[in-house]
Structure 1
Amino acid sequence: MLEEKNRINATFERLFERNECALVCYVVAGYPNANTTVEIIDALIAGGADIIEIGIPFSDPIADGPTIQRASQAALEGGTTPNRALQVARQVRRKHPNLPLLVMTYSNIFVKPGWDDFISKCKDAGVDGFILPDMPIEESSEYLPKAAEYGMATVFLASPNTPEERLKKIVQNSSGFMYLVSVYGITGARGTFEDYTKEAVQRAKRVAGKRIPVGVGFGISKPEHARFMISAGADAIIVGSAIVDKIAGAKNKNNMLTELETFSRSLKKACLSRV
């Protein structure tokens, strides 16, 4: 865990005391534009989101499905750069001083300017940690100490078929929470989940023990999906593509913001009581 408790740790402690599961919501910075991104985050928080992931668009998002790929491409074409994405984070931090904020992106965003340079910019913008889908434990020797130096959470991903020994390493090196991918493949809303997902959540919880919370994402788009994950033992549900789908399909901004707040509220309601 982090040496210094940050907003992520504090939020999970508060939710554990209430016997609640955390709702983590993902948005793409700059989609459909920077100002609307901030309003979208406001709406999700009003509905009950506990943690926000801000996706920094990247040209080759290997872990993202078609929905987020299209949104990322639109944001890039609209002029969203990593620094402009951090301006979104900065605006959100000013409005929501206690909100846990994570950046989700790809390692090249950090490598190009230098780990120290970009992590320090994230810290200055009010970010609490990172999710880097293309960062394996085996290649994190430069990333981990720099993140720790700035008190940033390092959320590593595990898949349903991650071997137990490697799962232990992910637990040991993750801080904030561990991100369990619920299905094989890329992100995207799904209709149902199979038994292997439930077994994967149970196994991750057994390995994580009380050391770190387990968040589950990829494919969650309905309250019943959230209840399924929580009943298996998830400490957080992570919702991304379903949110981006609603943004993409909106006829006007006001309706979109109302729908997103309602959607967030329905998911948070499913998180209020563990089975």
Structure 2
Amino acid sequence: MDRIWENLKNKKALTVFLTAAYPNKERFFEIVDLMAKNSVDVLEIGIPVEDPFLDGETIAKTHEKALENGFNEKELKEILKTLREKYPELMVVIMTYKIGIEKYNLLSMKEYYDALLCPEEALTLENVNLINIYNEEMSLEEIKSRLKYNSAFAYVVSGVGKTGGTEKMPEKYKHTMKVIREISEIPIQIGFGVNKVEDATAVINSGADGVIIGSEFIRKVNSGSDEEIVKFINEMSSAITKAHTK
């Protein structure tokens, strides 16, 4: 836990999602290298499962591709160990469904990642840093219950729905964030629908501690262009920094 606070202290974080071994293992590491060199603070790694039912089409297809390539527990462990050795300053958050935690024996690998996130339900595990998800439809009691086990940062969605939307970003996260702020000092990051510089700026201006980008980043990865990836990261990072220093 100290590692997370020390690396993210006194700054607004840029968290970027990438599915493990996508589009293949070699390219995955090339993309992570671009992230590490261009101001990404947290790498959220999606662990492939056969039915990522809470993800939109863009991310769901990355799960399918990784599984088609033969992704397995051994490969995941190799990836996580390499990330820890090669990029010690990069925070690594694992995002997967309950079946993924079991299928890949993730609790045996916790020395290689900084926190674990499960999108389908709040985890109540001991001896592992957890991230839980919050939205505007949750009661105060449910939010309090989730916060008891949330030891990294609170993942607040911009609005209820699946990942991957390209329309105007919802603003319902502001209500959720306000509720959390009244009962906890935990850092808050906002995800779902953060596609443009204007979205990232609005999130930081609202008082959030970080921005989480998933589907739009995958679209940049799918372009096959390193230049597009770096440009996107730098634009988002710059927007976050400018909004924070206003």
* Structure 1 Cα separation of the partners of residues 206 and 74 of structure 2: 38
- The RMSD of aligned alpha carbons is 1.8
Query: Corresponding residue for 2:136?
Result: 160
1:224 to 188, 191, 198: 198
Q: 1:258 deviation in Å?
A: 2.2
| Pairing partner for 1:42 from 33, 38, 52 | 33
2:229 maps to a residue whose letter is: L
Q: How does 1:2-21 map to 2 (within 5 A)?
A: 2=1, 5=2, 7-13=3-9, 16=10, 20-21=11-12
State the match for 1:264 in structure 2. Answer: 233
The offset of 1:45, in angstroms, is 2.1
- Unmatched 5+ stretches in structure 1: 251-255
Verify: 1:103 aligned to 2:79, yes or no: no
Give 3-state SS (helix, strand or coil) of 1:180's partner. Answer: strand
Distance 2:240 2:106 in 1: 34
Q: 1:120 aligns with which of 108, 115, 136?
A: 108
1:136 counterpart residue number = 122
Contact 1:202 1:232 in 2 (8 A): no
Name the CA distance, whole Å, in 2 between partners of 1:122 and 1:103. 9
Report deviation, 1:112: 4.4
* Structure 2 match to 1:90: 81
Q: How many Å separate the matches in 2 of 1:244 and 1:118?
A: 24
Structure 1: which amino acid aligns with 2:41?
A: D
Give the equivalent residue in structure 2 for 1:247.
221
Greater mean deviation of Cα atoms: 23-32 or 158-167: 158-167
Describe the shift of the 1:232–1:207 C-alpha distance in structure 2 as closer, same or farther (beyond 3 A). farther
Change (3 A) 1:200 1:121: closer
Task: Answer yes or no: is the 8 Å Cα contact 1:201–1:229 preserved in 2.
Answer: no
Structure 2 residue 148 is matched with structure 1 residue 172: yes
Q: What TM-score, normalized by structure 1, do the two folds share?
A: 0.83
Deviations 1:171-203 (A, max 9, x none): 221011011111211101433224433333333
Q: Is 1:25 paired with 2:16? A: yes
> Deviation per CA, 1:43-69, whole angstroms, max 9, x where unpaired?
122221001111111111122110000
Q: Which residue identity does 2:211 align to in structure 1?
A: I
3-state SS, counterpart of residue 176 of structure 2:
helix
Q: How many percent of aligned residue pairs carry the same amino acid?
A: 28
Asked if 1:181 corresponds to 2:177, the answer is no
2:178 to 190, 202, 206: 202
